[in-house]
Chain A
Amino acid sequence: MATTLDKVDVVTVGVGWTGGIIAAECAKENLKVVGLERGRERSTSDFSIVHDEYRYAIRYELMQDLSRETITFRNSRKQRALPMRQMGSFLIGEGLGGSGTHWNGQNWRFLPYDFEIKSMTEEKYGKNKLSADYTLQDWGITYDELEPYFMKFEKTAGISGEDKNPFWGKRSEDYPTPPMKKTPILQKFETAATNLGLSPFMMPSANLSEVYENPDGKTINACQYCGFCERFGCEYGAKSSPEVTVVPTAMDTGNFEVKFNANVVEILKEGDKVTGVRYVDTVTFEEFIQPAEVVVLTSYMMNNAKLLMVSNIGEQYDPETGRGTLGKNYAYQILPSASGFFDEQMNTFMGAGALGMTVDDFNGDNFDHSDLDFIHGASLSITQTGQRPILHNPIPPDTPSWGADFKKASIHNYTRALNVGGQGASMPHKENFMALDGTYKDIYGVPLLQLTYNFTDQDKALHAHLTERAAEIMQEMGAKTVVGGNPISDYDIVPYQTTHNTGGTIMGSSREDSVVNNYLQHWDAENLFVVGAGNFAHNGGYNPTGTVGALAYRCAEGIIKYSRDGGSLV
């Protein structure tokens, strides 16, 4: 028998960036907020011995324990979906701060083109640029409407950058802090890109270039370039993360409480409204019901979708009929790249997660696609994130993968290889979707989420074209050997690619084509909000967090409005 707790104004499921932002904004408005976090508490003091590649980057210290819960996966409906038994392709975080603790800090705003991609593509290239199998749609919000929320997130996080990219949307203000250091490796890229007539600029970074106090009075320290960001927490409090910004902001109000080891298993719904959530204490396995005026799903996008599915809220997407929206438009990220091998030794082991330079000349619709068989593109960047020795063993083609020659080549090139890499856009396809698995369950007895995903012709064409562009830059950088990334074939869940999974709880302008409206309010339950990268109707040519942060601020505004006035916000 579940124990029913006292009702609160707002409950968030998960306390990472989105949960933290919702909590901070709502608590400031005197709403009583409870955050249910299935992981543990942590803070900067937990990261004093974090320079440990084996523990954090290889054995995934900060990631979800798959023995408790995972997903199942297949490439197509014809296959049997099987559990992702060990982590690989993407790394789902767990604990206070979520993936916002172990991210690199590359912070982008999606392009104006992204939010109106269907309209703008049809206007320029006609209705048949992509086949009808690509379930492209506008997001129900424009860049200009979202701009204030982008700004708000960047101020909270103190993002370091420079407004020198001719291709991105208009900014109302410059970045809160100046760009990071332009190291010799970055300068190589800048010179080459400039020679090629491209427009390089410093990557917007959540590893801060200087000490910064945000509008909530929280201080983020200056990055020390230690080279341990992605998969690690920051021992300096110099990488903007929920636990050094929005979580303490929410705590300061006295209106926010986090319950740890609280794994939500169901959203409770009566009629047209939700009444709260049911959760399991992961230590005792006791069940609790947390009633709330407003429920906000703020966990990773896969878990947000799963909770809606197991709670029977919304209509499950069916690829056969095209009906339903829940689980629809799952997208990933396409990763074109080119490696270069140099004669000179470089300080590749130094760095920061978002220390880089980028060109957007081949992103979005910044170049003409009339004669190309794909849309969109990728941001192409050089990053100096700090290469670590277990995972980084660059070897030229035709070098064996073990033995004497491997050892020599991997050691020699560890400090002599660079990579130009793209964050490539991923277009939704009718066969790429999420549903509930019929066979496998988590340790709480809840079905696992089932992912059906494969790369499409659009993805392959984008990858091939952008790999050539990356190779051109690398060539110009003076590499003696340039190796373009292998063409992509079937999506493989084994090797790490990126934790930029999107879709499944997409936003839009009507209940027919989306799960939530542009305040991230559920169409079928006005006091239920769902926020995160799951709202993306497709994935753009950048890392997702900046856009997720903006959506979370938009959502918070909606919740505050709803708490005052009620009803649909659109």
Chain B
Amino acid sequence: MTKKEKNFSRRDFLKTSGVATGALIGGGLIGGLIGSNVGGNGSASTTAPPAATDGEQGGAGGVLGLQFFKNDAEFQILAQATERIFPEDDLGPGAIGLNVPYFIDRQLAGAYGENSKEYMQPPFYEGESTQGYQSRLKRNEMFRQGLQLMQAEAQSRFNANFVDLEGAQKDEILTAFQEDEIDMKGVSSLFFFRLLRQATLEGAYADPIYSGNANMEGWKMKGFPGHQPAYINEIESEEFQEIEPHSLGM
């Protein structure tokens, strides 16, 4: 309880300290995302993270903003691609509503994107598929290239921006990546697609402390209660247990 109050007071501090100005810019971005998603089935407002309504907080009560992407256009392509992979539906929010794009942005700016724990020594050879990742590219370089190529594909196939395409058109491009039909430099498009798909699921279901899984909506849809100290008293029950989820950060 005290923890929660502390958290609120920190937010109050942010609000009055001027940091909130930055947050408003973040809110503007999300506003754009949500806007482009409305019209799917009209339920976007119910799945919007708090950030969209008060322009202040992210999944973990933090402030949302970009750490890796340098312009909104690229970030919007990422957002729309993840939303096709994990779309909003009658079960609940999709990738955008869960703040997955922000999750991925932060991961790309850190150890994950920079390949800090991977063996990156030369020489590099292509190898067999059974030998795995042999690219000299870091993950964040793969993402940047992949998203640019999605836009290029949208232009060449439909003469339009990726973010303005119909769902089926976006899927056509994503499928081309998945089927390794797109020529990427230093990495196969299938590898990039798998990375994108996996990162989307990570953002949907990781603890909200990482800025995705907004309001634990990913967990709520799936029936996963997050951080619970114990199930010793429930595990023998014949009934399915619906348990209010908890984050490590709240």
List residues of A whose CB falls within 8 A of some B CB.
Answer: 49, 51-54, 58-60, 65-67, 69-70, 73-75, 79-80, 82-86, 88, 181, 183-184, 223-227, 344-347, 349-351, 384, 388-390, 393, 401-404, 407-408, 411, 414-415, 439-441, 490-494
Contact at A83–B235, with CB atoms within 8 Å?
Answer: no
Contact at A79–B240, with CB atoms within 8 Å?
Answer: no
Contact at A54–B202, with CB atoms within 8 Å?
Answer: yes
A-B contact number at CB 8 A: 166
Cα distance A29–B242 when bound, in Å? 53
The answer to whether A390 and B128 touch (CB under 8 A), given A86-B118, A183-B236, is no
Residues on B with C-beta less than 8 A from A490 are: 130
Residues on A with C-beta less than 8 A from B234 are: 347, 350
Contact at B85–A402, with CB atoms within 8 Å?
Answer: yes
Interface residue? B221 (CB, 8 A): yes
Cα distance A84–B224 when bound, in Å? 33
Residue of B84, B221, B229, B240 touching A411 (CB-CB under 8 A): B221
The answer to whether A80 and B117 touch (CB under 8 A), given A347-B237, A390-B206, A404-B87, is no
Residue of A54, A60, A184, A440 touching B238 (CB-CB under 8 A): A184
Contact at B119–A493, with CB atoms within 8 Å?
Answer: no
Contact with A along B116-153 (1 / 0, CB 8 A): 11111101010111111110000000000000000000
Contact at A51–B240, with CB atoms within 8 Å?
Answer: no
Which residue of chain A is the closest to B207 with respect to CB atoms?
Answer: A52
List residues of B whose CB falls within 8 A of some A CB.
Answer: 84-87, 89, 91, 94, 111-112, 115-121, 123, 125, 127-134, 171, 174, 178, 197, 200-202, 204-207, 209-210, 218-219, 221-232, 234-238, 240-241, 248
Contact at A85–B134, with CB atoms within 8 Å?
Answer: yes
Contact at B235–A347, with CB atoms within 8 Å?
Answer: yes
Which residue of chain A is the closest to B82 with respect to CB atoms?
Answer: A402
- By Cβ-Cβ distance, the 7 closest A-B pairs, closest first, are A224-B230, A54-B206, A350-B231, A345-B240, A389-B205, A51-B227, A70-B119
Residue of A69, A88, A347, A388 touching B241 (CB-CB under 8 A): A347
Contact at B119–A403, with CB atoms within 8 Å?
Answer: no
Q: How distant is A82 from chain B, measured CB to nearest CB, in Å? A: 5
Contact at B118–A349, with CB atoms within 8 Å?
Answer: no
Contact at B171–A82, with CB atoms within 8 Å?
Answer: no
Residues on B with C-beta less than 8 A from A70 are: 119
Cα distance A402–B200 when bound, in Å? 10
Contact at A82–B134, with CB atoms within 8 Å?
Answer: yes
Contact at B229–A226, with CB atoms within 8 Å?
Answer: yes
Residues on B with C-beta less than 8 A from A492 are: 129-130, 132
Residues on B with C-beta less than 8 A from A493 are: 130-132
Residues on A with C-beta less than 8 A from B86 are: 402, 407
Residues on B with C-beta less than 8 A from A86 are: 115, 117-119, 132-133
Contact at A403–B85, with CB atoms within 8 Å?
Answer: yes
Residue of B171, B224, B232, B240 touching A388 (CB-CB under 8 A): B224
Residues on A with C-beta less than 8 A from B223 are: 345, 349, 411, 414-415
12 A-B residue pairs with Cβ-Cβ distance under 8 Å, sorted by A, are: A54-B206, A79-B128, A79-B131, A83-B121, A85-B134, A86-B115, A183-B235, A224-B230, A226-B231, A227-B231, A389-B205, A408-B89
Cα distance A26–B80 when bound, in Å? 61
Residue of B87, B132, B201, B221 touching A88 (CB-CB under 8 A): B132
Cα distance A88–B194 when bound, in Å? 14
Q: How distant is B109 from chain A, measured CB to nearest CB, in Å? A: 14
Beyond A85-B134, A494-B132, 5 extra complex contacts between A and B, CB < 8 Å: A79-B131, A345-B240, A411-B223, A492-B130, A494-B129
The answer to whether A66 and B91 touch (CB under 8 A), given A80-B127, A350-B235, A388-B224, is no
Residues on A with C-beta less than 8 A from B94 are: 407
The answer to whether A389 and B229 touch (CB under 8 A), given A54-B210, A345-B240, A408-B89, is no
The answer to whether A414 and B240 touch (CB under 8 A), given A53-B207, A181-B235, A350-B234, is no
Q: How distant is A405 from chain B, measured CB to nearest CB, in Å? A: 10
Pick the most buried of B116, B218, B236: most chain A CB atoms within 10 A of its CB.
B236
The answer to whether A84 and B119 touch (CB under 8 A), given A59-B111, A224-B231, is yes
Cα distance A60–B85 when bound, in Å? 25
Residues on A with C-beta less than 8 A from B197 are: 401-402
The answer to whether A403 and B125 touch (CB under 8 A), given A414-B222, A493-B130, is no
Q: How distant is B192 from chain A, measured CB to nearest CB, in Å? A: 14
Residues on B with C-beta less than 8 A from A181 are: 235-236
Q: How distant is A260 from chain B, measured CB to nearest CB, in Å? A: 19
Contact at B240–A346, with CB atoms within 8 Å?
Answer: yes
Residue of A74, A226, A390 touching B201 (CB-CB under 8 A): A390
Residues on B with C-beta less than 8 A from A344 are: 240
Cα distance A260–B223 when bound, in Å? 41
Q: How distant is B120 from chain A, measured CB to nearest CB, in Å? A: 7
Pick the most buried of A65, A75, A393, A407: most chain B CB atoms within 10 A of its CB.
A407
Contact at A404–B89, with CB atoms within 8 Å?
Answer: yes
Contact at B127–A82, with CB atoms within 8 Å?
Answer: yes
Cα distance A348–B235 when bound, in Å? 9
Q: How distant is A202 from chain B, measured CB to nearest CB, in Å? A: 14
Which residue of chain A is the closest to B243 with respect to CB atoms?
Answer: A349
Pick the most buried of A82, A181, A183, A402: most chain B CB atoms within 10 A of its CB.
A402
Pick the most buried of B119, B128, B221: most chain A CB atoms within 10 A of its CB.
B119
Which residue of chain B is the closest to A227 with respect to CB atoms?
Answer: B231
Residues on A with C-beta less than 8 A from B123 are: 439
Contact at A67–B218, with CB atoms within 8 Å?
Answer: no
Cα distance A84–B131 when bound, in Å? 7
Residues on B with C-beta less than 8 A from A346 are: 240
Residues on A with C-beta less than 8 A from B205 are: 53, 388-390
Contact at B91–A85, with CB atoms within 8 Å?
Answer: no
The answer to whether A403 and B129 touch (CB under 8 A), given A390-B201, A411-B222, is no
Cα distance A389–B213 when bound, in Å? 11
Cα distance A84–B89 when bound, in Å? 39
Cα distance A88–B248 when bound, in Å? 27
Cα distance A292–B245 when bound, in Å? 53
Cα distance A277–B3 when bound, in Å? 49
Residue of B112, B230, B231 touching A347 (CB-CB under 8 A): B231
Pick the most buried of A65, A73, A83, A408: most chain B CB atoms within 10 A of its CB.
A83
Cα distance A85–B119 when bound, in Å? 5
Residues on A with C-beta less than 8 A from B227 are: 51-52
Cα distance A420–B130 when bound, in Å? 26
Which residue of chain B is the closest to A226 with respect to CB atoms?
Answer: B230
Q: How distant is A440 from chain B, measured CB to nearest CB, in Å? A: 6
The answer to whether A349 and B224 touch (CB under 8 A), given A52-B248, A60-B117, A85-B134, is yes
Cα distance A83–B116 when bound, in Å? 16
Residues on B with C-beta less than 8 A from A226 are: 228-231
Which residue of chain A is the closest to B123 with respect to CB atoms?
Answer: A439
Residues on B with C-beta less than 8 A from A49 are: 248
Cα distance A440–B128 when bound, in Å? 17
Q: How distant is B173 from chain A, measured CB to nearest CB, in Å? A: 13
Cα distance A85–B139 when bound, in Å? 12
The answer to whether A83 and B91 touch (CB under 8 A), given A350-B234, A492-B129, is no
Which residue of chain B is the closest to A61 with respect to CB atoms?
Answer: B117
Which residue of chain B is the closest to A387 with respect to CB atoms?
Answer: B224
Residues on A with C-beta less than 8 A from B116 are: 67
Contact at A184–B236, with CB atoms within 8 Å?
Answer: yes
